[in-house]
Structure 1
Amino acid sequence: MDIIRARIHHQHLGKEKRTSPANAVAWFGAVQAQDYHAALWGVSLRLSGVTLASLEAEFNNGSFLRTHVLRPTWHFVAPDNVRWMQQATAHRVRLLMAGYDRSFGIDRKFIRRTNTLLEKELRDATYLTREELADRLKRNRVTAEGQKLAHIMMHAELDALICSGPRRGNQFTYALLDERAPVQRPLEKEEALAELAAIYVRSHGPVLLKDFAWWSGLTLKEAGIGLNAAAPGLRHETIGGQEYWSAAGVRSAVPPPPSALLLSVYDEFHIAYKDRSALGGAEYDTTLKSMGNDLTSLLLIDGRIAGTWKRTLGTRKAEITVSRLRRLTANEKKVVRAEGERYGAFAERPCTVTFL
């Protein structure tokens, strides 16, 4: 099995697309989204005919949410999935927050108090920014800013109390989760781990156990419990001496990858794996790290890393600058420019591509 071709197919980066933004986010379980606009571009790559404006409208109406889940960073997540995913993984995020919590004087008693205040301020669809909520907390004798305020908000997210509200201009707001997502029955721990494993494998496979543990934030033991519980719907095979998991019944022969892909920064095709060697090998890992950040916006040619790219989005035009990691042929430059045109259609602006 060609791992990259299979992953491109299962991640819907080829010709087969998801049916809606909400459906695309739900397919992945969660999509890393601390870079909001880049994450929207990443979602758009799994769809046809969507624009930045149309995706923002879907986000604002709550078709998909943005919250801290899996790991201590923002993710897009489907309303139907957010509660049980927090149930399965929030303990791991809290563990990573614990050291800073102690330095800020944050404990469960403190969080119960701030959660009560946040619930009061946000009820009845009162969408407020982080700064506005800091002011409301201060009125109730809770002074917090910077990282302490961020931890207060993260704990409320992990407790399934709050999530994203609609954007107000370029500002993010918070909302009560009960007003943005349906209340559903809680899952037993093993049931939640199995569901998380099944979703991850179907959308990212073939994957290793350590890939699932990395993406989910779980321990290797917890990740193994999830995979074993989901095993009746999965299959595993040895490739290159390692055991890979895929969804049962998937085609062994998959279509060839698109000629060029401009992946978003933190795209699931890159960030979701602990082992990223299939993208180009150790030499590309070394080159990317020497550039200062191996987690960057990648240019793929025929499924393999060929460079990185940056975009400048102006009010009237978009500009993409490609930094090549190898020489590109004239035809390869042509297909990259075509991918740049796709970004221009997404941004609803003419787009030029420059090669460095």
Structure 2
Amino acid sequence: MTTPAPAVQRLSWAGVRARRLDRNALSVPVDTAATGPADVVAAMCGAHAQVMSAAELSIGLRLAGATRTDVRRGLWEERALVKTHGPRGTVHLLPARDLPMWTGALAAVPATSMQAKAIRLDPGQIEEVVAAIAAAVADAELTIDELDAAVTAATGPWAADPVMPAFQGMWPRWRQALHTAALRGALCFGPDRGRKVTYTSPRRWLPGFRPMEARAAVTEVVRRYLYAYGPATPRHFARWLAAPPGWAAELFASMAGELQQVEVEGAAAWVLAGDTEVPDEPARSVRLLPYFDAFGIACQPRDLVFPGRAAERALARGQAGNYPLLLIDGTVAGVWHQRRSGRWIDITVEPLDALDTRQARGLDEQIQRVGAIMEAAPRVRIGAVTVGPHA
């Protein structure tokens, strides 16, 4: 006699939305007396920081009463956060305490070079460059020009060959390994020197730092991703991490004993085993998410998060993050834009549909909150956003 397979649990999309909002502190911001920026960033699985003001807003929205000054203090004074390359190889703020996990995991993701074969670094050259970077920044904060000189001196003139197409010219060959060095934990960002970016060693943030063993690191990243953004599929995870889909599928399969299949709107997805709870109350919040906020990028499936016209208006060639999002009850419902002018911040919000009384009140409160986080007085216009997507 065979034992029937257990029934697959069905989760409603409304329940999934409420669960994700709660776990990302987007239902109710968390109390700053009990937590801080690093805890919030850990829950988000990293805060995208290519646009630093967007990272400050992402974190501030999730922390009751916090401002951009609190985020900056957590990064540059307390060093509870570190600015480095994170998921997808893009600039992120990560909790300093989690840097061993992130570097162990990200260095294990199979990489593909975007550079033409003729200018690509070979494996030996990559190792030379990463070692040279680590030595140069061990006890220093260097600008990119200073790092150019240090790497070339340590490796040889081949590293300085200006062969990489850049915004206004050509970059030296070695720079294609810059983000590799960050993913391996050889460097992170230091404080800006005037208008110039600097690089330094993450060991100045986390003494004794070393990357976690790869297998342990990648499985822990899966656990955290599924807790924050599940239910999800291996393909969703691969897209979020910019990893090969086949590699992600094998990773999920290797964790089969830790994962549980569920069904959402007729589609199979995975959560951590036993983690199927959803809130009793439906999602009820209005949020103005900045460029590249983790919620808009990590949440899947796209057709449910960006339903109907939202996909046309708020995605750029299917890519999330390029527009700031008006999020209502966990669903994208419009776009918005902000522009700073002295002590003022001009905010334009473009809802895709008319707002009811609750939503309009929530939007007013959120606009005031954005102004408080950014330490500016908001001036508001409801209408079309004419600014195009962020590159």
Report the TM-score, using the length of structure 2 for normalisation. Answer: 0.79
Equivalent position SS for 1:115: helix
CA contact (8 A) 1:70 1:93 kept: no
CA contact (8 A) 1:263 1:299 kept: yes
Q: 1:193 to 1:112 in 2, by over 3 A?
A: closer
Equivalent position SS for 2:333: strand
2:295 counterpart of 1:269: yes
Deviates most, 227-236 or 169-178: 227-236
Q: 1:5 maps to which residue? A: 18
1:238-277 alignment, distance < 5 Å:
238-247=263-272, 248-249=274-275, 251-277=277-303
2:91 counterpart of 1:74: yes
Distance, in Å, in 2 between the alignment partners of 1:233 and 1:92 is 21
Which of 44, 52, 67 does residue 28 from structure 1 map onto? Answer: 44
2:191 counterpart of 1:177: no
Q: 1:304 to 1:28 in 2, by over 3 A?
A: closer
1:17-166 alignment, distance < 5 Å:
17=30, 19-61=35-77, 62-92=79-109, 94-95=111-112, 98-100=113-115, 102-124=117-139, 126-137=140-151, 141=157, 142-143=159-160, 146=166, 148=173, 150-166=175-191
Equivalent position SS for 1:41: helix
Distance, in Å, in 1 between the alignment partners of 2:291 and 2:180 is 26
Q: 1:116 to 1:284 in 2, by over 3 A?
A: closer
Structure 1 or 2: more strand by fraction: 2
2:377 counterpart of 1:350: yes
What amino acid sits opposite 1:198 in the alignment? R
Distance, in Å, in 2 between the alignment partners of 1:184 and 1:134 is 25
Displacement of 1:346 in angstroms is: 0.5
CA contact (8 A) 1:193 1:223 kept: no
Q: 1:317 maps to which residue? A: 344
What amino acid sits opposite 1:333 in the alignment? A
CA contact (8 A) 1:101 1:107 kept: no
1:157-306 alignment, distance < 5 Å:
157-181=182-206, 182-184=208-210, 186-189=212-215, 191-228=216-253, 230=255, 234-247=259-272, 248-249=274-275, 251-289=277-315, 295=321, 296-306=323-333
Q: 1:341 maps to which residue? A: 368
Deviates most, 176-185 or 12-21: 176-185
What amino acid sits opposite 2:87 in the alignment? L
What amino acid sits opposite 2:291 in the alignment? V
CA contact (8 A) 1:9 1:255 kept: no
Q: 1:153 to 1:100 in 2, by over 3 A?
A: same
Distance, in Å, in 2 between the alignment partners of 1:261 and 1:198 is 26
CA contact (8 A) 1:44 1:51 kept: yes
CA contact (8 A) 1:40 1:52 kept: yes
Q: 1:238 to 1:330 in 2, by over 3 A?
A: closer
Equivalent position SS for 1:39: helix
Displacement of 1:111 in angstroms is: 2.8
Distance, in Å, in 1 between the alignment partners of 2:100 and 2:122 is 22
**Structure 1 residue ranges, 4+ long, deviating more than 6 angstroms after superposition:** 290-293
Displacement of 1:331 in angstroms is: 5.1
Q: 1:291 to 1:316 in 2, by over 3 A?
A: farther
Distance, in Å, in 2 between the alignment partners of 1:150 and 1:321 is 38
CA contact (8 A) 2:46 2:93 kept: yes
Distance, in Å, in 1 between the alignment partners of 2:217 and 2:316 is 39
CA contact (8 A) 1:31 1:76 kept: yes
How many positions carry a matched residue from both structures? 352
CA contact (8 A) 1:25 1:76 kept: yes
RMSD across aligned positions (CA) = 2.9
2:27 counterpart of 1:14: yes
Deviates most, 313-322 or 83-92: 83-92
What amino acid sits opposite 2:376 in the alignment? R
Percent identity of equivalent pairs: 23
CA contact (8 A) 2:288 2:326 kept: yes
Deviates most, 204-213 or 280-289: 280-289
CA contact (8 A) 2:324 2:335 kept: yes
Q: Name which one, 1 or 2, has greater alpha-carbon Rg.
A: 2
Residues 99-148 of structure 1 show CA distances to partners (whole Å, capped at 9, x for unaligned) of 41634342233333333432333222x11222332344456644257455
CA contact (8 A) 1:4 1:278 kept: no
Q: 1:26 to 1:103 in 2, by over 3 A?
A: farther
Displacement of 1:168 in angstroms is: 3.3
What amino acid sits opposite 2:102 in the alignment? M
Q: 1:194 to 1:225 in 2, by over 3 A?
A: farther
Residues 74-100 of structure 1 show CA distances to partners (whole Å, capped at 9, x for unaligned) of 2222223333333333354631xx241
Unaligned runs of at least 5 residues, structure 2: 1-11, 384-391
Distance, in Å, in 2 between the alignment partners of 1:192 and 1:293 is 27
CA contact (8 A) 1:310 1:320 kept: yes
What amino acid sits opposite 1:276 in the alignment? R
